[in-house]
Amino acid sequence: MTVDWRTVASLVGTVTKALALPLAVSAGVALLYRESAVPFLLPALGSLLVGLGLERLPRAELGIREAFLMVSLTWLVVALVGAVPFLLVGSGVFVSPVDAVFESMSGITTTGATVIESFDAHPRGLLFWRQLIQWLGGLGILVLAVGLLSQLEVGGAQLMETETRTQDVTKLTPRIAGTARIIGGLYVGLTALVVLVLLGLNLAGLAPRMGPYDAVAHALTSVSTAGFSPEAESVGAFSPAAQWVLTGAMLLGATNFVLLYALTQGRFRRLRESEELRFYLGLVLATAAVLAGVLRADGEFASIEPTLRHALFQVTSIVTTTGYATVDFDLWSPAAKHLLFLGMFVGGMAGSTTCSIKSFRWLVAAKTLRRDLFTEIHPDAVRPIRMGGEVVDEGTVRDVNAYIVLSLLIFAFLTVFVVVETADSGLGVTEFDAMGIAAATFLNIGPAFGAAGPYGSYAGLSAATKWVLVVLMWVGRIEIVPVLVVLTPAFWRS
């Protein structure tokens, strides 16, 4: 059996066709602000026609190979289509195709790394499109996680499956499509809730700058743990109240959606039972506490509330892989910056919109280590790894550990590449900055340090570096494995 090209193309066609809707919405926003809608309507029409055309290809049953190829291609195709409005508007840096593709890929992979240098140079419609693709990227990864990846047993997906089993969701809707619909609905609902709360704050006078446009824009990229903001100062442009609300939104976005669903059904016991949730929240709070201590010692803020708020916000933003900022943390002391850097490798819970390595994997890795130490003394002991009482099968344990090693290896190579490449171009990126750039893009966080810091931009990097980062954002978002599988020769042989 070789890969059934036509089925894959047909399914990618369906996704492409569906892109017409968000493009049309952005066209509407552009018209609202009396800007040209053409840069959105043109690709909308194009994707509709191309999508419809591809969809007509004969479609057979989706096999394992087709699914891998489809997952890999979808993200690539959507990123390319998403780049078209940037190019057509052609404002600021977006005259160059690499910057347009970088911004689009950074969007759809919910990374949040930007090449925009001056936000005033771009029309409101385009900035809205930038927010919208991040939201779509978050929705896409959720649906993919429950829908397809769980079938392929890839990456965090089988972790999701174990969660699903314990959370009775499968019992509720035996069909994957039904589960995906529930999870998608929850995502939409959560986004709407954040919009309403932000608008409520605005009306109550607690967030004067958070108008309807900003409320929607930030709801779209907080729940999706993506991190774009139409403001140059990111969330730093808004009141403390708005910052607290967005902290909560990011935390929710990085929580397992099946768990969130159980909560909407009143099963609060799940909260206590989830070991991963305890680990994830505990880690965020502990890191924030340490960071607050560091900031206090550094005398960064005058009083307690801003110290706590900025510490928690920055840690949440990095650990959940969102990438917002309320202050330019690049100006902080090395201790504070390195703490945030370490936070980049954590990630939220499996089955959420989060990226990076994810809490589940670290928990499994820690438990594997503990087991290894135990079996050093008791070589005959049989010790299954347990998560919240449930046994994790050994295949998953191996996958998880291999995934962590693979991620760190890719990170190391990418760092070396960025250092060497920027040294040649004479940009003067330090090695720490390079590590930041590698982690922030490959692990889909967004802002790094130095020139690529939270209030900076990736624009200064060479085109070659940007292309490599585009590829690695893509590889990182779909959890490496699907891309690697597609690249193996065995994939293409029968």
Partner 1 sequence: MRVVIVGAGEVGSSIAASLADSHDVVVIDNDASLVDELTYDQDVLAIHGDGTDLDVLREAGIGESDMLIASTDIDETNIVICGTAAICCDAFTIARVKRPQFLRTWEQKQGAFGVDFMVCTDLLAAQTIVGVIGLPTAQDVDTFADGLVQMAEFEIPAESPVANQTVSEADRFDSLTFAAIIRENEIVIPTGGTTIRPGDEVVVIGSPDSAREFSAAISPEETRPQDVVIVGGSEVGYQVARLLEQRGFKPRLVERDPNRARWLAEQLPGTTVLESDATDQSFLERERIGDADVLLATLENDQQNLLATLLAKRLGVDRTVAVVDTGAFADLFEAVGVDVAVSPREATAEEITRFTRARRAENVSLIDGDRAEVMEVEVDPDSAIAGRPIAEFVRELPEGVVVGAITRDGSLITPRGDTVVEAGDHVVLFADAVVVDAIAAAI
Footprint of partner 1 on this chain (CB under 8 A)?
378-384, 386, 389, 391
**Distance of closest approach, residue 370 Cβ to partner 1, in angstroms:** 14
**Distance of closest approach, residue 378 Cβ to partner 1, in angstroms:** 7
For the chain, the first-to-last Cα distance in angstroms comes to 5
Indicate the burial class of 371 (C-beta count within 10 angstroms; 0-12, 13-18, 19 or more).
Answer: middle
> The tokens of 344 are what?
């980049």
**Distance of closest approach, residue 447 Cβ to partner 1, in angstroms:** 43
Contact yes or no for 250/222 (Cβ under 8 A) = yes
- Closest to partner 1 by CB, 369 vs 381, is 381
**Distance of closest approach, residue 372 Cβ to partner 1, in angstroms:** 15
**Distance of closest approach, residue 270 Cβ to partner 1, in angstroms:** 20
Concatenating the DSSP letter of every residue in 190-242 gives: HHHHHHHHHHHHHHTTS-TT--HHHHHHHHHHHTTT----SSTTGGGGS-HHH
Work out the number of other CB atoms within 10 angstroms of the CB of residue 357.
Answer: 23
CA gap 311, 276 in Å, rounded: 22
**Distance of closest approach, residue 389 Cβ to partner 1, in angstroms:** 7
- Closest to partner 1 by CB, 56 vs 383, is 383
Contact yes or no for 238/122 (Cβ under 8 A) = no
- Provide the 3-class DSSP secondary structure of residue 36: coil
**Distance of closest approach, residue 383 Cβ to partner 1, in angstroms:** 6
**Distance of closest approach, residue 381 Cβ to partner 1, in angstroms:** 6
**Distance of closest approach, residue 386 Cβ to partner 1, in angstroms:** 6
- Closest to partner 1 by CB, 374 vs 413, is 374
- Closest to partner 1 by CB, 120 vs 380, is 380
Contact yes or no for 307/293 (Cβ under 8 A) = no
- Closest to partner 1 by CB, 338 vs 371, is 371
Residue linked to tokens 């009141």? 239
- Angle at CA of residue 440, ends 357 and 82, nearest 5°: 100
CA gap 104, 477 in Å, rounded: 13
- Closest to partner 1 by CB, 334 vs 384, is 384
Contact yes or no for 227/112 (Cβ under 8 A) = yes
Return the exposure string of 36-61: e unless at least 16 CB atoms fall within 10 Å of the residue's CB, then b. Answer: ebebbbebbebbbebbeebbebebee
CA gap 84, 81 in Å, rounded: 6
Contact yes or no for 430/330 (Cβ under 8 A) = no
Instruction: Note the Cα 307 to chain centre separation in Å.
Output: 26
**Distance of closest approach, residue 391 Cβ to partner 1, in angstroms:** 5
- Closest to partner 1 by CB, 221 vs 368, is 368
- Closest to partner 1 by CB, 394 vs 431, is 394
- Closest to partner 1 by CB, 136 vs 400, is 400
- Closest to partner 1 by CB, 34 vs 378, is 378
